[in-house]
A and B are shown apart, each in its own frame.
Chain A
Amino acid sequence: MSVPAAFHLALHYVLRHRLQSLLLCLALGASLALPVAVRTFAKTVEAETGKRASGTPLVLGAKGSSLDLLLSALYFRRQPIAPITLKQVDLIRASGLGNAIPLLVRFHSQGSPIVGVDLAYFDFRGLGTRQGHLFTRLGDCVVGARLAKERGLKPGDSVFSSPEQVFDIAGVYPLKMRVTGVLAPTGSPDDHAVFVDLKTAWLIEGRSHGHDDLASSKSAPDVLKRDSTNIVGSAAVRMFNEVTAENLSGFHFHGDPADYPITSAIVLPRDAKSEAILSGRHQDPKGLFQLIRPSDELSMILSTLFQVEGAIILGLVFVGFAAAAIAVIVFTLSFQMRAREFATLADIGVSLKTLNLIKAFEVMLIGIGGMAIASIVVGLVIQWGPSLVLRALQ
């Protein structure tokens, strides 16, 4: 018996029946890969979401869906959540129980979330710039690493906020923002966001505006009415859609900023006791606010996900067994159909051991092919899974 010859004969058969062999490999590969890939993907979801949640102690927001609040505050998903006011942040800070970082996640720039924050957010997340610097004035922004790469952005470039809807002519108008920096990559939702100061976010919202100086305007069409205390501008007054060094002083806010909206606030309690007090203060079922612990919320969501995953894997294992049974039947039928070929080899004088070895090598080669395909699929899931999860969450 010659083992190499038996292997070569099996190899020749597999290679010269490529389509048949490839189909078998794919069927085997898919049945092997699917349960592993689903498990790997679920683990990736758990790891990626868990990282962000465990790094965020508490989130304050309006009463409503805790999931929506979680997705908005941690993953910058523009969820339909009611706003709270900046006053809530001030109250927490004033209580001495901890710090709070306001977030306004309402607008976007070509699909990328525009996140209104204050500078404390960057310290909290450990975000630093790879190029340029953080925003320094109204109308500035810094962009995440992946967004910068995708759009080819660098300091000095501009990005526009996108209108909320094209049919609302009187709605939020696009603001041209100056990119002052690009953040270092973190593998988190921060990589895909446009960060602006809260005031800039309010500017996009229309809480602030800038226009031609009517006090010094000599142009009659600009002024509808002028008296000693008040000047009423006409529709001809030019509104600024960009903040520049020249027009910066022309921007102004109306009303008390404490009453301005934010979508959520990340709360950083001073200690466990402070956390317990803060949680207690926001447990009133009739209250207007909710204080959630992201890791707890996520555990609840993931436990549901893993129940579903368990059912899916069980199903896939059954599919795998079915595929394996089909593969056995296919091999058996194939060997039966090739009975004449094996009889020929036996007639020539090839031993039973060698014939069985040839069959075993064929099964082994197909098995190796199937495992290679399964490995590629699982490898792709490991390679691209985290970014897919992050994209799905944004």
Chain B
Amino acid sequence: MKPAASECVIRSGSPSGVLITDLHFQYPGSSFGLSLRQLELGAGETLAILGPSGCGKSTLLRLIAGLLPPNAGKVSIGGSDIHLLNREGLRDFRLKQIGLVFQDFALLDYLTVSENILLPAKLGGFFSDEVTSRVQSLMDQLGIRDHEKKITRMLSQGERQRVAIARALAHEPTLVLADEPTASLDAARRDRVAAMLVGYAKERGAPLIMVTHDAALKDRFDRVVDFQELVS
């Protein structure tokens, strides 16, 4: 029987690393698949994965986040293989330990900006005044404080993307996975958001894996890999 997340030795805020070994995945009934022999990130290390659209970058992120089960291989976060967790354990782990920025933002349209950002903390049962003040600070940094009470469907793409980033960081995850988080932003905001994500990773010692096709960001990361070279 697979263990629950609570059995994993990962504590929020503690330095953690990511180790992926011999990962293999293939969509059922499709010829598309990917294999990754090894990828290792230390605490606070930042990695940009570059590659054209549709090459499988998002699939890799979903495998690392446990949203897709691999056919083989191991994804170890903070020393625990997350794919050994049962479904609910994996969800709980993701809710508390991983900050996910989805390519399509994945916001709830009928909630306000602040309600969306606080949603994981509230549904996960770790909502506190500390989280609230952190969210206020994040909204200030991302320039969305003025929209705090607005329903998210009323926002522009760029604003929605920043809300998604704030939601990913609000609960202080030990791993940040960002899928094209700057795609809808202008150059100035793109740089500011990238700097903010990298700064978070360094400050908290949380590894950051960011998928992007924007080569202009590569100087900000500790490591930059081409997706085609990373996988086979």
As a 0/1 sequence over residues 329 to 363 of chain A, the CB contacts with chain B under 8 angstroms (1 = contact) are 00000000000010011111111111000000000
B43 interfacial by beta-carbon distance below 8 Å: no
Complex CA gap A99/B4 in Å reads: 91
B11 interfacial by beta-carbon distance below 8 Å: no
Q: Are A349 and B124 in contact (CB under 8 A)?
A: yes
A5 touching B127 in the complex, CB below 8 Å, given contacts A12-B111, A13-B110: yes
Shortest distance from the beta carbon of A88 to any chain B beta carbon, whole Å: 77
Residues of A within 8 A of B127 (CB): 2, 5
Complex CA gap A272/B67 in Å reads: 88
A138 interfacial by beta-carbon distance below 8 Å: no
Shortest distance from the beta carbon of A256 to any chain B beta carbon, whole Å: 85
A354 touching B110 in the complex, CB below 8 Å, given contacts A347-B67, A349-B91, A349-B98: no
A238 interfacial by beta-carbon distance below 8 Å: no
Question: By DSSP majority rule, is chain A's interface helix, strand, loop, or mixed?
Answer: helix
Complex CA gap A8/B106 in Å reads: 19
Contact of A349 among B93, B110, B151 (CB under 8 A): B93
Complex CA gap A349/B98 in Å reads: 9
As a 0/1 sequence over residues 115 to 154 of chain B, the CB contacts with chain A under 8 angstroms (1 = contact) are 1000110111101000000000000000000000001000
Q: Are A349 and B95 in contact (CB under 8 A)?
A: yes
Q: Report the nearest A residue to B115, measured CB to CB.
A: A12
B222 interfacial by beta-carbon distance below 8 Å: no
B interface, how many residues as a size bin?
Answer: 20 to 34
Residues of A within 8 A of B88 (CB): 351-353
Q: Report the nearest B residue to A13, measured CB to CB.
A: B110
Shortest distance from the beta carbon of A347 to any chain B beta carbon, whole Å: 6
Contact of B95 among A8, A13, A350 (CB under 8 A): A350
Q: Are B94 and A349 in contact (CB under 8 A)?
A: yes
Q: Are A347 and B106 in contact (CB under 8 A)?
A: yes
Complex CA gap A16/B125 in Å reads: 23
Q: Report the nearest B residue to A5, measured CB to CB.
A: B122
Q: Are B125 and A341 in contact (CB under 8 A)?
A: no
Q: Report the nearest B residue to A17, measured CB to CB.
A: B110
Q: Are A344 and B108 in contact (CB under 8 A)?
A: yes
A327 interfacial by beta-carbon distance below 8 Å: no
Q: Which of B87, B91, B98, B107: most chain A Cβ within 10 A?
A: B91
Please, how many residues of chain A have a CB less than 8 angstroms from a CB on the other chain? 22
Residues of B within 8 A of A345 (CB): 108, 119, 123
Complex CA gap A6/B123 in Å reads: 7
**Which chain A residues in 1-22 approach chain B with CB under 8 Å?**
1-2, 5-6, 8-9, 12-13, 16-17
Q: Report the nearest A residue to B87, measured CB to CB.
A: A352
Q: Are A16 and B124 in contact (CB under 8 A)?
A: no
Shortest distance from the beta carbon of B124 to any chain A beta carbon, whole Å: 7
Contact of B123 among A5, A12, A13, A352 (CB under 8 A): A5
Complex CA gap A9/B110 in Å reads: 10
Residues of B within 8 A of A341 (CB): 108
Shortest distance from the beta carbon of B180 to any chain A beta carbon, whole Å: 16
Residues of A within 8 A of B91 (CB): 346, 349-352
Residues of B within 8 A of A13 (CB): 110
Residues of B within 8 A of A348 (CB): 94-95, 100, 106, 119-120, 123, 167
Residues of A within 8 A of B65 (CB): 347
Q: Are A2 and B87 in contact (CB under 8 A)?
A: no
Shortest distance from the beta carbon of A14 to any chain B beta carbon, whole Å: 10
A12 touching B110 in the complex, CB below 8 Å, given contacts A2-B125, A354-B123: yes
Q: Report the nearest B residue to A14, measured CB to CB.
A: B110
B92 interfacial by beta-carbon distance below 8 Å: yes
* List of 5 A-B pairs having minimum Cβ-Cβ separation, nearest first: A349-B95, A349-B94, A5-B122, A2-B125, A344-B106
Q: What is A's interface to B at a CB cutoff of 8 Å?
A: 1-2, 5-6, 8-9, 12-13, 16-17, 341, 344-354
A-B contact pairs, 23 of them (CB 8 A): A2-B125, A8-B122, A9-B111, A9-B122, A12-B115, A16-B151, A17-B110, A341-B108, A344-B102, A347-B65, A347-B94, A347-B100, A347-B106, A348-B94, A348-B119, A349-B92, A349-B96, A349-B124, A350-B123, A350-B124, A351-B88, A351-B91, A351-B92
- Knowing that A9-B123, A351-B92 are A-B contacts, what are 8 other residue pairs whose CB atoms are under 8 Å apart, sorted by A's residue number? A1-B123, A12-B111, A344-B107, A344-B108, A348-B94, A348-B95, A350-B91, A353-B88
